[in-house]
Amino acid sequence: MKRILTWSDCVFNKAYAVWKTHASKRTAAVLLLAVYVASLIVIELGRRGLLPPVVAAMTPRSHYAAISMAFTFLLYLEVIDLVFGLATSVSRAVGKQFEIFSLILLRRSFKEFTYLPEPLQWPATMEPVWHILSDSCGALLVFAVLAFYYRTLYHTPITADDDETADFISAKKIIALILLVVFIALGVHSFLATLKSGKETDFFATFYTILVFCDILIVLVSLRYGKSYPVVFRNSGFALATVALRLALAAPDYYNAGLGVGAMLYILGLNTAYNLFVKTRVSSVK
């Protein structure tokens, strides 16, 4: 077991070192720009009838779809950050999940623009406008509550034994590596399914379902290194919040933003209560 933990440390650290380099970040930024510009060009060619019929059938007609495509690529990059973050801090990784969810809401807002006339005019029906307001305001509320949540983060080691703490981190790195492989496989499958059917697959809903099981797995693994009630309750609550986000991704308009904001408020309250619990215990020991 020790050999597996050492191997996972080595692989994870090398992968993370490559991902966090300035060159990698710059390459990702260039690719993001390329996706946006290429999407605009392809959409314009489709509008002018200059694409093969098979490609034209899959190409959106509105230029605003290019914004949604760029946001989708940005979300993929954010998911990779989330996967690496699982090994460093569970509470920050949960915050990252809500960051991604807020960006998904913003992407949905831009998607609604594709239902509006181009150039922009006041629509015949208010439904797309209400959807834009709901998703964008929901994203803003999640963004605002996240600022308070990050201020409540109070890190305590899961165990007083440094070796066991290191082993727990290594175990989380194994989970993160497995999740990274699943993310890549799921991304390839989603891309191929989209090409085959011509319809966008719900990649993020599927990925958040997998995250639910990963969060539960981390809770169960943590019991091997410590059975502190506050830590078990907090991590279990985080898993419950991920379930709420998964429901929000599948929920209809208006409900999705409400569920996301409610889940964000829940983890803010959860972490605040956890801090009080831990600080009270520390004070009582003194």
Asked if residue 49 belongs to a domain, the reply is yes
Across all residues in the chain, what is the average pLDDT?
Answer: 87
In terms of Cα–Cα distance, which of 206, 186, 208 is closest to 98?
A: 208
Q: How many domains does the chain have?
A: 1
The pLDDT of residue 202 is 80
For residue 282, pLDDT over 60 is answered with no
The pLDDT of residue 144 is 97
The pLDDT of residue 285 is 42
Asked if residue 132 belongs to a domain, the reply is no
Residue range of the domain that includes 247: 2-116+138-285
Express each pLDDT in 238-265 by its tens digit. Answer: 999 999 999 999 899 899 999 999 999 9
Find out whether the peptide bond into 117 is cis, omega within 30 degrees of 0. no
Asked if residue 128 belongs to a domain, the reply is no
Q: Angle at the Cα of 282 (from 280 to 286), degrees rounded to 5?
A: 115
Asked if residue 53 belongs to a domain, the reply is yes
Asked if residue 127 belongs to a domain, the reply is no
Asked if residue 126 belongs to a domain, the reply is no
The pLDDT of residue 198 is 66
Asked if residue 133 belongs to a domain, the reply is no
Express each pLDDT in 59-82 by its tens digit. Answer: 888 888 888 889 889 999 999 999
Asked if residue 124 belongs to a domain, the reply is no
The pLDDT of residue 205 is 87
Q: Centre a 10 Å sphere on the Cβ of residue 219 and count the other Cβ atoms it contains.
A: 19
